[in-house]
C-alpha cells in the first residue's frame, strides 16, 4: 500500500474521464438522507476532513438504466487503513434480499473530503467487483466548495484499465418520500433555530398546505367556469381527472377531519396560553408583577394599577432630559408590559370559559 498521499494522487489523478458513460442513473432522496446521516454520525464522533467512510448501494437495473433506491454503511476507516468486510456485505445483502426481492447490489459509495480516487477506493472497488462485475461509484464530498446542486458524483469503471467514468444522474422521488424529506428539513430548521416551537412550526406548515390547497381549488373552479362559458375548449382528459379527484374526496369520512380540526384548535389555544404564561413569568421575574398581585383576590385591579404606575414612570423617563435610554427603547418597554397584561387576561378568560 502507498505511504504517501502524493503517490496515491499520482496513481489516479489522470484516470477520471468525462465521456463514454454506458449507463443512466436515477437516485432516490432516501439515499441522500442516509449519506447525510452517515456523514453526520462520523463528524459527531470527532473525525476530521481526512476520514473516508464506505457503504453499499442497492437498487434496480434494467439494461443500461440503474435506479439507486437504498444504501447501508460498510466500513469506517482512516487514511491508509482499509479492509472491506466482505462477509458483512454478503450478510447484509441477504437481509435486504429477503425484504426487497427485486433489488440488487449495484455499487458502492464513499464519503470523503478528497476530490480524487485513492488506493483505498481501488481496494473497495475490487471487493465490490466480486459481487457485481461493473459496480457504479457514488462519491459524496460534503466539503466541496463548488457551486452545485448536490456534492454528489457518480462514476463507473473500466475493468480492463481501471478508469473511472463520470456519469450523469437525476433525482427520482415519490410523494411519500417527499413527506420524509419535508419532515427532515423541518427538524433541521427547528434545531438551527432553538426558540422555534414544534407546535407552532407544525401549525404553520399545515396552514401553508391549506392555503396551497385553496389556491389549487380556485384554479380548478376557474377552469371549469371558463370551460362552461366557452372561453376554454373542452378537454375530456382533464375533466375525467377532476371528476376522479372529486369522487375520491367523497369517500373521506368527515368525522376524521373534524377530529383533526378540533385537535389543531386545542393545540392553537394551548400554544397561545403557554405564550401568555411565558410572557407573564418573564415580567414577574423583572419586578412589574409580584407574587402578592398574583395571589390576592383583586389581582387584576392591582395589576392594572401597577401597569398604570409603570407607564407613568416610563412617560416621566421619556420626558426627562437626563434619560439614559433611547426613546424607542422606553416605548418598546411600555408596549411589552401592556401586552403582557393583555395576554395574561386573555389566557385567564380562555381558561375560565374552558372550565
Lowest-confidence region among 33-47, 275-289, 331-345: 275-289
Do 293 and 155 belong to one domain?
A: no
Q: Which among 154, 175, 196 is the end of a domain?
A: 175
Phi and psi angles of residue 303, each rounded to the nearest 5 degrees, phi first: -65, -40
pLDDT digits (tens, 9 = 90+) for 10-24: 333 333 444 456 788
Confidence grade of residue 186 (pLDDT, cut at 50, 70, 90): low
pLDDT digits (tens, 9 = 90+) for 231-250: 888 888 888 888 887 777 66
Q: Which among 131, 159, 175 is the end of a domain?
A: 175
118: exposed, middle or buried (Cβ count in 10 Å: 0-12, 13-18, 19+): buried
Q: Is residue 219 situated within a structural domain?
A: no
Residues 6+ apart with CB under 8 A from 139: 109, 110, 112, 117, 152, 153, 154, 155
Q: What is the mean pLDDT of residues 271-290?
A: 57
What is the pTM (predicted TM-score) of this model?
0.44
Residue with more model confidence, 154 or 195: 154
Number of structural domains in the chain: 2
- pLDDT-above-70 percentage for the chain: 59
Q: Is residue 109 situated within a structural domain?
A: yes
Find the farthest-apart pair of alpha carbons in the chain and give their distance in angstroms, rounded: 91
Tell me the C-alpha distance between 190 and 184, whole Å.
Answer: 10
pLDDT digits (tens, 9 = 90+) for 148-175: 677 888 888 766 555 666 777 777 766 6
Q: Is residue 261 situated within a structural domain?
A: no
Q: What is the pLDDT of residue 252?
A: 61
* DSSP strands (E only) in the chain: 16-17, 24-27, 52-62, 65-77, 104-111, 136-140, 152-158, 163-167, 169-171
Domain that holds residue 34: 5-175
Which residue matches cell numbers 387584576? 300
pLDDT digits (tens, 9 = 90+) for 99-113: 888 889 999 999 888
Closest-CA residue to 74 (of 66, 63, 82, 64) = 82
Do 37 and 143 belong to one domain?
A: yes
**CATH code: domain of residue 52:** 3.40.140.10
Which residue matches cell numbers 442497492? 58
Q: Is residue 153 situated within a structural domain?
A: yes
Phi and psi angles of residue 126, each rounded to the nearest 5 degrees, phi first: -65, -40
Amino acid at each position: 500500500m502507498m505511504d504517501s498521499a502524493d503517490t496515491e494522487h499520482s496513481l489516479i489523478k489522470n484516470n477520471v474521464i468525462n465521456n463514454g458513460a454506458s449507463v443512466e442513473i436515477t437516485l432516490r432522496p432516501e439515499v441522500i438522507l442516509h449519506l447525510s446521516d452517515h456523514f453526520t454520525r462520523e463528524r459527531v464522533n470527532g473525525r476530521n476532513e481526512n476520514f473516508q467512510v464506505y457503504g453499499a448501494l442497492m437498487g434496480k437495473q434494467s439494461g443500461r438504466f440503474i435506479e439507486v433506491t437504498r444504501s447501508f454503511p460498510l466500513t469506517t476507516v482512516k487514511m491508509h487503513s482499509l479492509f472491506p468486510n466482505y462477509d458483512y456485505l454478503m450478510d447484509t445483502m441477504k437481509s435486504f434480499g429477503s425484504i426487497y426481492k427485486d433489488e440488487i447490489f449495484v455499487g458502492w459509495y464513499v464519503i470523503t473530503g478528497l476530490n480524487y480516487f485513492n488506493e483505498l477506493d481501488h481496494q473497495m472497488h475490487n471487493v465490490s467487483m466480486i459481487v457485481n462485475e461493473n459496480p457504479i461509484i457514488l462519491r459524496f464530498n460534503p466539503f466541496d466548495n463548488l457551486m452545485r446542486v448536490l456534492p454528489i458524483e457518480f462514476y463507473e469503471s473500466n475493468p480492463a484499465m481501471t478508469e473511472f467514468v463520470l456519469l450523469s444522474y437525476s433525482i427520482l422521488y415519490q410523494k411519500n418520500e417527499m413527506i420524509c424529506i419535508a419532515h427532515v428539513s423541518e427538524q433541521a430548521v427547528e434545531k438551527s433555530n432553538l426558540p422555534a416551537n414544534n407546535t407552532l412550526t407544525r401549525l404553520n406548515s399545515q396552514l401553508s398546505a391549506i392555503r396551497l390547497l385553496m389556491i389549487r381549488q380556485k384554479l380548478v373552479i376557474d377552469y371549469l367556469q371558463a370551460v362552461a362559458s366557452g372561453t376554454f375548449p373542452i378537454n375530456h382528459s382533464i375533466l375525467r381527472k377532476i371528476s376522479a379527484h372529486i369522487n375520491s374526496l367523497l369517500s373521506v369520512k368527515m368525522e376524521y377531519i373534524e377530529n383533526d380540526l378540533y385537535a389543531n384548535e386545542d393545540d392553537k389555544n394551548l400554544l397561545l396560553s403557554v405564550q401568555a404564561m411565558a410572557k407573564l413569568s418573564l415580567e414577574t421575574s423583572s419586578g412589574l408583577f409580584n407574587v402578592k398581585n398574583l395571589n390576592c383576590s383583586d389581582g387584576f385591579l392591582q395589576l392594572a394599577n401597577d401597569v398604570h404606575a409603570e407607564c407613568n414612570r416610563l412617560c416621566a423617563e421619556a420626558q426627562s432630559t437626563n434619560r439614559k435610554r433611547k426613546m424607542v427603547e422606553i416605548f418598546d418597554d411600555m408596549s411589552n408590559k401592556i401586552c403582557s397584561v393583555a395576554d395574561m387576561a386573555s389566557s385567564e378568560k380562555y381558561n375560565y370559559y374552558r372550565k
